[in-house]
Each structure stands twice: as structure tokens, then as C-alpha cells.
Chains A and B, each alone.
Chain A
């Protein structure tokens, strides 16, 4: 008697796919729909974990774009401080799909909102990327012009990108109710002041995220009809939740929705792919520790293993590149090498 599981591949079964498989290389876990070669122009954006993807693709010789490159001769340390070379443009961490969507909308419209610049003392910060200028700007006008320029760079980036890699990080966000824009983080963390009537908390639903992803894809393809999208979900837990839930439950809620949305959206579109970095990090099949002592930062060796799966599947891992990832950690050091403004919330921990 036959049944539907008769002829499915071994990775479809838990025992052969997980328990007995090679859990270093995870054969069959990722079959790229969106192919990346060394000639592919790749742009990266998203939550903290996306930084690793950009770093490893660069080390593998892929053409990772940089629309706002660091000035010639600027040290690596100073460049990182000012958010150069972290992603393909200086947008800082884009935690939610809504932020990404709004960034594209604003970039295409050249729209800058005067109300989305926060003051701290006599310095001004771009509420939509407050971390990129750590000391802030001398005037609101300076901050506005810098944003205007950034938006132009985002447009030109999208126009020259073959594959846009976007890592979804959070479902929770803070919205400026006046201009209806989602801020990079809660007001008051880096600058500005929290005003409950103006700054509203939003925990985006599955449907909203699917709609945002659809709009992201639509806008990207207006700018570049051949662009393809590669989605991942950050395995980094929430630093804090404003949802009222326990942070562990809130993290699972958030990541589950993001994972489901990313997977469904990729399944529904030929030009969208999903790489399961989230699963590779968070699976209970991992026997070695995957997180650092803070149980948030992904350990470098875990990142290396995950990215090896990705690069192998994409045909981008060869003996020359095998050693390369170590250089990343030699240069940058410990587990907190990624730039993660969300971690600033930790400072407010009770």
C-alpha cells in the first residue's frame, strides 16, 4: 500500500534529516532559488544578523554593493562608528519590514519629515537611523540634508542591485503617529523623548508583514525590474519587549511570525528566496552552545557554520574562502562585533 511519504527525500524525515544527518553542513536544507555568483551585485539590509551575511559574501568575493562607502583612508574603527560598511548603505539596522517599506517609499518620493529628527542637548539625530551619527548633527538642517542624500543613495543602490538581501528582525516597532513612520527604535533610547500620544507601539501581524514584503518587492521592482529578494530571519532574540508579554514569549511570537511570513512570501514569488539561517541557529538539534553568554549574540563559530551552509549551497565556498571567515573575527573580535542599536535597550534594563 502506498502513501504520500513513500517517495519523499531523506531530509523530509526528522530522523534522517536531523538526527542522523551531518549537522555541520545540513545537506538539503537550502536549495537556492535566487542564485548568487561572484558577479551578482548584492545589497544587504535588515536586522543585526544581516551584517554577517554581507561580511561573508564579501569575503567570498561576491560583489556586495556599498552605496555610501567609507571615505578613503578612514580607519576601519572610525568607519564602523559612523556606520560605514555595515550594510550596503548607511541606513543602520532596519528591524521591521515596515521600516524597509517606508524607507523605499521615502527614497522614491524624496520625502524627508522634519518632525523625525530628534534633539539631544544641542545635537540632532535622524529618528529613522539614529545610530549612524553617534554624536548627532550640529543642526536639524544638517541632519535633514544628510537624510536627503541618504535617500538618493538608497534609490541608486536599488537600481544597481541584482539580489537584495533583507533580514527580518522584529515585529515590534514604534510609530510616529503624526507622520506615520516607523522609527528605528523607541524615542528616548538614543535621543528624543517618549510621548505616549505621539509615539505608539505596534506589534506587526503576519498579514501586515506579508503586505509590507509585497510592497517592498513592488517598490524594488519599480526601481529595478530584474531585482530579486533573499529573505532571512534574524535568530537574535528581542532585547526587550513592549508587548506586555514575557520577553521569551514575545521573542517566540515575533520570530514565529517573521519566519512564517518570510517562508510564505518566498514560496509565493519566483523572485524571492528564503535562507533558513534562523532555523540553523535556533534548532534544538544544536549540541554545542550557539549563543554567547548573554544568550542573544550568536557565537562567531555558529555564524561561520551557518554561512558555510549558505555559501556551499550557492557554490561560493571554495578552499580559498574556507579560511576567510576567521579573519572577520580576528579583526572584529568577540561576539558583539555586530552593530545593534536595539542592544542599547539593555541599558534601561530593570
Chain B
């Protein structure tokens, strides 16, 4: 009885977590040494650390995406913003002798500015988010190419190298950055009124307006935050390869990020989001990618397996399936309550 209640209460939380554990276990049984972590020169090495390392840019983008999705929006432009901010980082590093922290601030500011543009289109002009951010998604790579003048700009900077590939306290520095931003966002979204307001705007705009919440400003700030996150991700990705590639940096990252948020049980129709579960969603996607690569399957299976597993997870999570399943096993009162869909 007790156990059943627990399962029902945390049904949503458990699904992504169990999926992640399952995927890791299956991979570990197929690929020997997948779980092995070694400690060399004060650095941790291993497939699991690699997953964290590679998942960082997506996790950062997904964090911003989650906040945007909470407001009933979506941000398609993050991939393009990554390319723009990477280009800004590279061009400023190469063409000026500004200290590196000013370069980083400029790139982050550019990201926030891109977010502000999206935010203004969405909240001031009331344009549907998917269309409003489509504009920057299409034009953004053009802007990035204009900044780099169509070249792949390579640069050298010790600080940026450290951000891209350095280690601190055994873990990659970029993972620490991501952890810091994730914690900060969780605190803001869960412990302050701001988070509550943002979710309430997504759940019901009119009601929250009647309560006196300044919806416009909140929605706009969500997009600015998403742009900022994409900017940070862009800096890390550029630092990783020590160059800015306007065409390919962050390509399709927006899709992975949206997928992660949805895998975490959020609805694209706004409202409640699950930030930590979003990170779990990113880890699911990244583990799948790494697992397929290390399992010895030919690379071309990557996308098919990924798509199939994601579809399966989505179908299992869909309210209809749960309704149908609980229809098959009609049980106690508690069960029925748990299965009613919103």
C-alpha cells in the first residue's frame, strides 16, 4: 500500500530516472568497462565522465529552454545564438587585445541581446513563440557567418582553453560551470516568487495577469535567460574546438534541448517544469549517443536507435497510455486518482 502511494506520487519523477538507469545498465552489460572510472593526474576519466563533459552544452541550453517552455513558449533560435556567440568570442579574441573576461562578457551579452529580441517579439508583439524564434533561427547563422566573414576563425587563449577542456577538482571545469548555473536556476525557480510567477504565466496567462503579475516582463526575461544560456554554451563549444564554425556550431542542439525538457515530463503547453529532471533528460540523450558509439554498433544506427527509444519513452509517458494501462488493471481508489489526466 505505502509503496504504491509512493510510486504514484513520484510517477513523473521516476520515469526519466528509471529510463536513465536502465540505459546505463544495458550499455554497461553490452560494453565492458563502460562504468569504469579511473583517476589519473587528478583528473577523472571514463565514459561516464565523458557523458557529463559532452552533455554540458546541451544541459545549459536545455536549462534556458525549460524556463522558456514554462512560460508556454519555445526557443528555436538557441542553435543559431550559439553560433553567433561563438563567432563573437573568436573574432574578439583574434582581432582585439581585450582581456578575456571582457570578451566573455561581450559574448554573454550578445546571447542575452538575442534573447531580448525574441522576448520582445513574443511578449510585446504577441507573436507565437515558435514563429518569433524561427526568424532568428533562419537569420542567426547568416549573422554568425557575417561576423566570421564566412571563415572558420581559430583562436588561442589559455582561459578559454581551460573553459573548454580544463579540469578543476577532478571534474571538467565546464561541468562545474553547468552545475553552478543549474543550482542557481533551481534556487531561483523553486525558492523565490519569480519561479512561481513564471510557471503561473505559462499555466494561465489571464489568471496570473488578474493576480497582478507583470506577464510581459516575465516572459521577456525567460527568453533573455535562454539567450544567455545559449551564449554560455556557445563560448564553451567554441573554446572546446578553439574556433568558431558559423555553419555547424550548435547545429540541431535546440532539438536535443527541447527533447530533454519533454523527456523530463514538461508539457509544451506550459506550466510546471522539472529542472533537475531536464538535466536527467539531457543525460539520457547524451548517454544514448555515447552508448551507441562505444557499443560497437555501426555509427549509422545511432539516429534510428535514438529515435526509437525516444518515441518509446514518449509513448510510455503519454497520459493516454497511462489511462489505457490503468484501464487494463482497475484497482483501488488511489490508482484511479493517479491515472486521471489533466
| Pairing of A with B | no
A residues engaging B (CB < 8 A)? none
B residues engaging A (CB < 8 A)? none
